[in-house]
Amino acid sequence: DFIQMAVRKFRGEDKEEELVIDYVSKNMNNMTVNMPYQCFINGQFVNADDGKTYDTINPADGSIIASVSSASLADVDKAVAAAKEAFENGEWGRMNARERGRLMYRLADLMEEHQEELATIESIDSGAVYTLALKTHVGMSVQTFRYFAGWCDKIQGATIPINQARPNHNLTFTKKEPIGVCAIVIPWNYPLMMLAWKSAACLAAGNTLVLKPAQVTPLTSLKFAELSAKAGFPKGVINILPGSGGLVGQHLSEHPDVRKVGFTGSTPTGKQIMKSAATNLKKVSLELGGKSPLIIFSDCELDRAVKMGMGAVYFNKGENCIAAGRLFVEESIHDEFVRKVVEEIKKMKIGDPLDRSTDHGPQNHKAHLEKLLQYCETGVKEGATLVHGGRQVHRPGFFMEPTVFTDVEDHMYIAQEESFGPVMVISKFKNGDVDGVLRRANTTEYGLASGVFTKDISKALYISEKLEAGTVFINTYNKTDVAAPFGGFKQSGFGKDLGEEALHEYLRTKAITVEY
Ligand code: TAP
């Protein structure tokens, strides 16, 4: 491994300004990856105003990948000013919607051309298994941009029959307008995909944006910035500021020139953002934490429920917002279910995320691993049965064993709080007690996702009606799609990502009335 500073220059097809990019380059995964590491403001990669940097770490071995610029308050002001200028006076605001769509398609194509490089960067920065990073982290990001690119020229208002001012006539029509400068603040579990889910809808609607990636995973968003410039996005439309949430995120949420905040992260931070956004009454959408219940009935296809149930918990090493935080398994199949899960866990290959045969990579960062180990200790102390795992894996990096707890009772901490890691939390329910298990599944302040396994379609639909969650999976799990709205109820937040609904999070409606 080596870290090399390289200066590359290129001239975009239709751009007068030269883009100078300082890369940290590394040879790995049978390729050279070139990683921008500076703030991206007004179409340029620049050091933080005060020159501050921090190290981003590879969780597979604890090594430093790159020293990244840490944006300051002055950088936030510059980026917001650039986004405002681009929105109000730049080429972006004058562009035809179809042309905007073309730019987004071009960006999606470029992301696809660079998918191996993006997936490698994502893998070393977040610990995602490379094969998954390629398919999901990067693959779904490309699809998201394509999906929203298609919306650009289909954003339409309505004509509305209002009372006429006789003898004159009246007509009211509505226009869907972009909001202006949007701030986007995202977490570290799917760094590029979280960027894509929000930015694609935001851009398709015609806004400009300033995005803050999670401090621990800034690299794919900076690579994305490079690709957006190469695709020909006008300067100032997309600005990326790596840095601290308390500083950069906080200032963005309070900033008077920012009109909307799109946030994904924890519920406490979401509440803080909502408070900050009140300073100028920004529009807000919040995708927050979850403790998603998964109910498994004895009349399910058991092997499928085992496989999907495991995916529901261990996908992306459990760092998955819709991860099944609690499994309710019907008494008559409980022991067999647990036995099969443990049997399958033993077949999982834990190791180097870049190795194509690896199933389970390192947790995202050290502090998170430590929190997870503590979570398991709490579970044991409370009297839940630790059936498997619960420990750090003895190898370099931040690996954790896939873990299973049974005999988890409703009052326990691990029954109520999200782990955000590879921890299966299993509770039994009495045979046939549909309403009892529903009551327990809904006894949480979260309401992000949920799932049910049963061959009885009436029971499944009844359950889906009663579950208080923004997403219900029946006989499947983790089946998200760019066209389907995604977002939570209760303290899992409000506002949707993906699908047509996401577009409206980034639009405002103007009603125009004419008399003739
Ligand atoms: P948070 O601590 O909430 O961090 C999320 C982002 O907010 C980070 O970029 C963080 O910056 C920033 N931030 C922190 N304080 C802020 C403030 N005062 N103002 C503005 N921004 C601030 O969450 P996390 O620990 O990174 O992520 C895990 C949580 O996210 C889990 O609870 C998980 O359920 C949730 N999550 C939810 C979803 C959906 S779709 N609902 C998806 C993924 C994750 P730093 O980089 O400095 O921390």
Give the DSSP per-residue string, 28-41. ETTEEEEEE-SEEE
At residue 16, the pLDDT reads 53
In the reported structure, the alpha carbon of residue 424 is separated from the centroid of ligand 1 by a whole-number distance in angstroms of 22
196 annotated as belonging to a binding site for a ligand: no
**Angle of the 139-149 helix axis to the 191-204 helix axis, nearest 10:** 0
Task: Kindly state if the Cβ of 246 falls inside 6 Å of ligand 1.
Answer: yes
At residue 333, the pLDDT reads 98
In the reported structure, the alpha carbon of residue 446 is separated from the centroid of ligand 1 by a whole-number distance in angstroms of 16
In the reported structure, the alpha carbon of residue 489 is separated from the centroid of ligand 1 by a whole-number distance in angstroms of 17
Contact 41, 24 (CB under 8 A): no
At residue 330, the pLDDT reads 98
Task: Kindly state if the Cβ of 363 falls inside 6 Å of ligand 1.
Answer: no
For the question of an ipTM over 0.90, the answer is yes
At residue 164, the pLDDT reads 94
248 annotated as belonging to a binding site for a ligand: yes
Q: What is the mean pLDDT of each run of 10 residues along the chain (516 residues)?
A: 43 61 97 98 98 98 98 98 98 97 98 98 98 98 98 98 96 98 98 98 98 98 98 98 98 98 98 98 98 98 98 98 98 98 98 98 98 98 98 98 98 98 98 98 98 98 98 98 98 98 98 98
The sheet carrying 4-10 orders its strands as 4-10, 19-28, 31-36
At residue 7, the pLDDT reads 41
Closest CA to 258 of 493, 86, 84: 84
250 annotated as belonging to a binding site for a ligand: yes
At residue 18, the pLDDT reads 81
Q: Is 321 a catalytic site residue?
A: yes
The two beta strands, 181-185 and 260-264, are parallel
Catalytic residue (one of 117, 321, 376, 505): 321
Q: Is 121 left (phi over 0), alpha (psi -120 to 50) or beta?
A: alpha
At residue 4, the pLDDT reads 45
At residue 94, the pLDDT reads 96
The predicted model scores a pTM of 0.96
Question: CA 410 from chain center: how many Å?
Answer: 29
Contact 89, 81 (CB under 8 A): no
At residue 11, the pLDDT reads 42
Q: Is 177 a catalytic site residue?
A: no
**Angle of the 219-231 helix axis to the 97-113 helix axis, nearest 10:** 130
Contact 365, 60 (CB under 8 A): no
